[in-house]
Amino acid sequence: MDQTAPIHTHHHAVQFYGSDQSLHTTVAGFLSEGLIIGQPALIIATEPHKTGILARLTERLIDVEKAQASGDLVLLGADEALAMFMVGDMPDEAAFEARIGGLVAQMLRDRRARTILRAYGEMVDVLWKERREEAAIRLEILWNKLATRFGFALLCGYAMGQFYKQAARFEDVCSHHTAVIQTDANVVPFKPKGVARTA
C-alpha cells in the first residue's frame, strides 16, 4: 500500500435488516441520493438483492442502465467479489487492496478531487451466514482501512436473524461502524461525516 496516500474521514454504516424489502429501500435511498448529485455507486450483493435494489432505484427515477453504461453505477456479485481476495477461510489484505481497492480507485479516476463514492456491500453477510464470523470481522477492518484512503461512504447489510442469540457478536460488528441503521427502518438520509481513523 502507498504509505504516502492521504488519510480521509469516512462513513461506514450498517443495517441489520429483518426483511429484504426494507434492505432494498434503505440501500436504494442511500445510493440514489448520491447518484442524483453525481456521486458514483458500487453495489456488491447477492443476485436477489441486486435485483431488488435496482428495482427500487428505478422507482426513484434513476436510469440504472445509463448509470451503468457511464460507469456511475457498478455491480458485482457478492460471491464473485469474495473470490477475488479470499485465501482459505480469511480475506487476504493485499488481494483486497488490489482488487476492491483498485476498483474503487478506477471508479474515482478522472472525477473531481472531492467526489465521494457510495458503496453497498454484503460480502460480510455472506461470510456470517456461512459461520465465518472472524473472516467477516476481518473484512470490516479491511473496508475501514480502504475507506481511510479514499474517504468513501459504505453501507453494509446483515440479516438480523443471525444475531438474536449473539449479543456479544452484535456489539462486535457495531464497533466497526460509524452508524447503525435501525432494523427495518425506512431511513433514507445518509450524510458522510468525520470520524476517527480506524486501525
Q: What is the pLDDT of residues 172-189, one digit of tens each?
A: 777 777 777 765 544 333
Q: Which residue has the cell 474521514?
A: 9
Q: Indicate the pTM of the whole model.
A: 0.82
Does residue 108 belong to any structural domain of this protein?
Answer: yes
Q: What is the pLDDT of residues 129-172, one digit of tens each?
A: 898 999 999 999 999 899 888 888 999 988 876 765 666 677 77
- Structural domain that includes position 81: 18-161+172-181
Question: Is residue 157 a contact partner of residue 14, using CB atoms and an 8 Å limit?
Answer: yes
| Element at 68 (helix H, strand E) | helix 64-70
Q: Which residue has the cell 441503521?
A: 181
User: What is the rounded distance in angstroms from the CA atom of residue 28 to the CA atom of residue 124?
Assistant: 19
Amino acid at 19: S
User: What is the rounded distance in angstroms from the CA atom of residue 25 to the CA atom of residue 28?
Assistant: 5
Q: Note the pLDDT of residue 94.
A: 97
Does residue 7 belong to any structural domain of this protein?
Answer: no
Q: What is the mean pLDDT of the chain?
A: 83
Amino acid at 90: M
Q: What percent of the chain has pLDDT over 90?
A: 58
For residue 84, pLDDT over 80 is answered with yes
Does residue 133 belong to any structural domain of this protein?
Answer: yes
Question: Is residue 47 a contact partner of residue 79, using CB atoms and an 8 Å limit?
Answer: no
Amino acid at 101: G
Rg (the chain; Cα; Å) = 16
Does residue 99 belong to any structural domain of this protein?
Answer: yes
Question: Is residue 50 a contact partner of residue 58, using CB atoms and an 8 Å limit?
Answer: no
Q: Note the pLDDT of residue 112.
A: 77
Does residue 34 belong to any structural domain of this protein?
Answer: yes
Does residue 11 belong to any structural domain of this protein?
Answer: no
Q: Note the pLDDT of residue 121.
A: 94
State whether residue 119 is helix, strand or coil: strand
User: What is the rounded distance in angstroms from the CA atom of residue 27 to the CA atom of residue 11?
Assistant: 14
Number of structural domains in the chain: 1
Residue with more model confidence, 69 or 165: 69
Does residue 54 belong to any structural domain of this protein?
Answer: yes
Does residue 12 belong to any structural domain of this protein?
Answer: no
